[in-house]
Amino acid sequence: MKILIANISLLPSTESLFDSHDPYTNTRHSSTWDIGIAGDVIEFVRPHTTVPMGAGGRERTPGSEAGEYDKVILGDGRLALPGLVNAHTHLGMTLLRGYGDDLPLMQWLEEKIWPIEAELSADDVYWASLLAIGEMFKAGVTTCGDMYFHMDATAKAIAESGMRASLSRGLQDIGGSGKQGLQEAAALCRNWHNSCRGRVTVMLGPHAPYTCSPEFLRQTFDKAQRLGIPLHIHVAETETEIQEAADNYKTTPLGLLEELGVLDGPVTAAHAVYFSPDDIQLALERDVRIIHCPGSNMKLGSGIAPLPDMLEAGLKIGLGTDSAASNNTLNLWEEMRLSSLIHKAENRNAKVVPAETSLTMATKGGADALHLNKVGKILPGWAADLILVDNKGLHWQPTSDLEASVVYAGGAQDVNLTMAAGRVVYEGGRLTTIDEDRLVYQVQKCAQRLGLC
Ligand SMILES: [Zn+2]
């Protein structure tokens, strides 16, 4: 399918990558652009051009009415951004939104989350995943990194909806479930890795150093090596985890992964709240990708990650909401804003984590964290994952710095078109691949059966 998105604005940093001469008149163009989509890839970005259609004074975009495109989207000057990447979440937990609020991580997990998770069926996880995907599409998220169980159900929701995703079967060996989990993870890889024309990829997901024994971590690493896929793991999320690693292994959680040889392969570490300077150096040497989840870390009272130090060291960092049970939304705009604001306050320094950095983390940084290539930028040859944002609202006016306005003034409510892998999945206030009424009905049914509402 060929789509033309005509007459949109771009961020100055994106505009600077392109020749701004009008291809038809060779004069410098005005201020808007056209984007051509072929299949699931961006074909071109070029200055917006119109030609008169004769009587009536109407204008048209060259090529747009010659049957060259299957669909022409009139941007009307709206801002096009790369689709946002929610690099760390647990879609199946979306049914648990609002269940067990205001508790610290371990009490939250042990008393609320783990008991109710034992009740979740594959059907619950399917509808929870679809609920999460619908919420994310409306907020302009086109890619997610997920870790949970009943992952076939999540993969089915991802495949049907059109979202790009990196999926991991969450693994732990406390309670003796490690072997079965590993088998399911291998099956997930066989069935879904690089499926849907590469839109779905798979990682192996050992939950955390505190829920996996060293032997099991080593086993998951060996399995990942054989399957040729990276690991996605929670690391250094709480002070308790740091203390336990020091008591049990005389090192940090990341240091333990290094000692076990796990960092010999590609690893994505979610949270990194308690990374020491040595951990940051180790992560840099081993190219460990980081996912910063400020909303979840704040809500669970876990702490504030040393993001400015990690950025300064040059680590590749994306953003994640974590689950809807610890956030409680999957709104990456909030994570962008939080990741700039909390570190300014924490460091008493307004210059740290500027808006442009948060925006990069929310897009290309997230794709890097998930080991995805050519995702997260509006460039020819890159994935056709993009959103149109209405930046004409009063809260955008006046706009002196567009990137700062996106991060500090914009929000999910300003997204009015979402395209994932070349497919329009949200437009004009409605989801195009998800039946929203049926979704809400099914979600309520699941929640009632589980006694959640
Ligand atoms: Zn998580």
Amino acid at 82: P
Instruction: Provide CB contacts within 8 A for 232, sequence distance 6+.
Output: 88, 145, 147, 166, 168, 203, 204, 205, 267, 268, 270
Q: What's the 53 CA to ligand 1 centre distance in angstroms? A: 54
pLDDT of residue 14: 87
Distance of CA 376 to the CA centre of its chain: 10
421 close to 39: Cβ distance less than 8 angstroms? no
- Is residue 163 assigned to a domain? yes
pLDDT of residue 177: 76
pLDDT of residue 28: 64
Q: Are residues 143 and 291 in the same domain?
A: yes
240-265 in b/e form (b: 16+ CB < 10 A) is ebbeebeeeeebbbbbbbbebebbeb
Last residue of a domain, one of 337, 369, 401: 369
Q: Are residues 242 and 97 in the same domain?
A: yes
d(CA 385, CA 324): 23
Q: What's the 10 CA to ligand 1 centre distance in angstroms? A: 33
- Is residue 257 assigned to a domain? yes
Q: Are residues 67 and 96 in the same domain?
A: no
- Is residue 107 assigned to a domain? yes
d(CA 410, CA 431): 21
Amino acid at 310: M
- Is residue 377 assigned to a domain? no
Q: Are residues 63 and 103 in the same domain?
A: no
Q: What's the 82 CA to ligand 1 centre distance in angstroms? A: 24
User: Which CATH number covers residue 267?
Assistant: 3.20.20.140
Instruction: Provide CB contacts within 8 A for 2, sequence distance 6+.
Output: 36, 37, 38, 43, 68, 69, 70, 71
Q: Are residues 271 and 210 in the same domain?
A: yes
Q: Are residues 65 and 109 in the same domain?
A: no
224 close to 189: Cβ distance less than 8 angstroms? no
Q: What's the 326 CA to ligand 1 centre distance in angstroms? A: 9
Q: Are residues 199 and 300 in the same domain?
A: yes
pLDDT of residue 436: 98
In the chain, the number of structural domains is 2
Beta strand 71-74 with 33-38 is unpaired
pLDDT of residue 180: 93
**Dihedral, CA atoms, 185, 188, 194, 196, nearest 10 degrees?**
-150
- Is residue 160 assigned to a domain? yes
**DSSP string over 28-96:** BP-S-EEEEEETTEEEEEEE---EE-STT--EE-TTTTTT--SEEEE-TTPEEEEPEEEEEE-GGGGGG
pTM over the 0.85 mark: yes
Q: Quote the tokens at residue 421.
A: 């892998």
Mean pLDDT by 10 residues, the chain (453 residues): 94 84 66 94 90 50 67 93 98 94 90 93 98 98 98 98 98 86 97 98 97 96 98 97 98 98 98 98 98 96 97 98 95 98 97 98 98 97 98 94 96 98 97 98 97 89
Last residue of a domain, one of 29, 53, 77: 77
356 close to 79: Cβ distance less than 8 angstroms? no
Last residue of a domain, one of 49, 77, 105: 77
Q: Which domain holds residue 71?
A: 2-77
Beta strand 289-292 with 267-271 is parallel
Q: What's the 256 CA to ligand 1 centre distance in angstroms? A: 19
Q: Are residues 256 and 238 in the same domain?
A: yes
Q: Are residues 32 and 103 in the same domain?
A: no
Q: What's the 233 CA to ligand 1 centre distance in angstroms? A: 8
- Is residue 17 assigned to a domain? yes
Q: Are residues 132 and 50 in the same domain?
A: no
Residue 308 class from Cβ within 10 Å (0-12 exposed, 13-18 middle, 19+ buried)? middle
- Is residue 291 assigned to a domain? yes
Q: What's the 442 CA to ligand 1 centre distance in angstroms? A: 25
pLDDT of residue 63: 57
Q: What's the 71 CA to ligand 1 centre distance in angstroms? A: 38
**DSSP string over 410-433:** --GGGEEEEEETTEEEEETTEESS
Neighbours of ion ligand 1 (CB under 5 A): 322
Q: What's the 329 CA to ligand 1 centre distance in angstroms? A: 14
Q: Are residues 128 and 106 in the same domain?
A: yes
Q: What's the 314 CA to ligand 1 centre distance in angstroms? A: 23
Instruction: Provide CB contacts within 8 A for 312, sequence distance 6+.
Output: none
Q: Are residues 326 and 282 in the same domain?
A: yes
- Is residue 50 assigned to a domain? yes
309 close to 349: Cβ distance less than 8 angstroms? no
